[in-house]
Structure 1
C-alpha cells in the first residue's frame, strides 16, 4: 500500500481521489465512494475503495465543521470544503457510519493490511476520531 501515515490522507489513493473531488461541486463523488464500500458484498472491501471512502467521510466531517488534521496532503480537499458550503444529509452521515463499519470489518482488505503493521492501534484511533467527528455536528 502506498501509505506513509495513519491519517485519512497518508496514502496515494486518498490523495488521488481529492483530484476527482475538485471536478464536482456537490456530494455525488462522496456518496459514490461510500456506495462502493457499502455494495462490496461477500468479496469484501478493497483497500483502495476503503481509503477513498475514508477521504469521502473526511469531507462530511469537515463540512459539518469538524476539521481533522490539515496537511499538504489534505489541502485540495480542505479548499474544496471551504468553497462548497454544503450541509450533508442525515442519510449521508448514516452511510458514512455504515461505511466505517465495513472498513473495520474482517472482510476489509485495508483493515487486514493495517493489522499486519505496528501502527494498527494508531490507525484504529484515527478511524475512531473520524467517526466521532462525523457524528458530532457542531453546525446543528
Structure 2
C-alpha cells in the first residue's frame, strides 16, 4: 500500500475510494463501504485495503455532518463532494453506529492495517488519528 501520511486519505486505497465517491450523490456508497468492512467482523483478518477504505468512509461521514478533521490536498476531492451535497441528508444513527464498529475493527488485533502501522515508526500518531475519529463520532 503506497502511503505518504497518517491521515485517512493519505494512501492509494483511500484516494481510489475518494475517486469512486465522486460518482455518488447519496449515502449509499459510504454505507456500502462500512458494510463491506463489517462483513469481516467474523473473519480472522480485516485486510488492509478494506481498513483503509473504512477509515476514508468514516472520515467522509464525519465531514458530511460537520465533524470534519483537518483539510489538505489529500482531502480535496472529498471536501468538494461534501460541499456539493452537504445539507441534503440528516444524520443517521445507524450509520454512526456502523462507523464506530468499523473503527473498533480497524483498531483490533485482526486488522492488517493496524499491523502494518504497528510495524512502522508512525504507529502512535496513526492510532491517535483513528481514536480522534472515534471521539468525533461521539460528539
Q: TM-score, normalised by structure 2?
A: 0.94
Residue in 1 that maps onto 2:18: 18
Residue in 2 that maps onto 1:101: 104
Mark the runs of 5 or more structure 2 residues left unpaired by the alignment: none
RMSD of aligned residue pairs (Cα, Å)? 1.0
Residues paired across the two proteins, number: 136
- Map 1:43-82; keep pairs closer than 5 Å: 43-82=44-83
- Map 1:118-129; keep pairs closer than 5 Å: 118-129=121-132
- Listed one character per residue, the Cα deviations across residues 50-94 of structure 1 (whole Å, up to 9, x for unaligned) are 111111001111112111111111111001111112233000000
1 CA distance for matches of 2:44 and 2:36?
12
1 CA distance for matches of 2:18 and 2:91?
18
1 CA distance for matches of 2:37 and 2:45?
8
Which consecutive segments of 4 or more residues in structure 1 shift more than 3 A?
none
2 CA distance for matches of 1:119 and 1:105?
17
Query: Secondary structure in 2 aligned to 1:42?
Result: coil
Mark the runs of 5 or more structure 1 residues left unpaired by the alignment: none
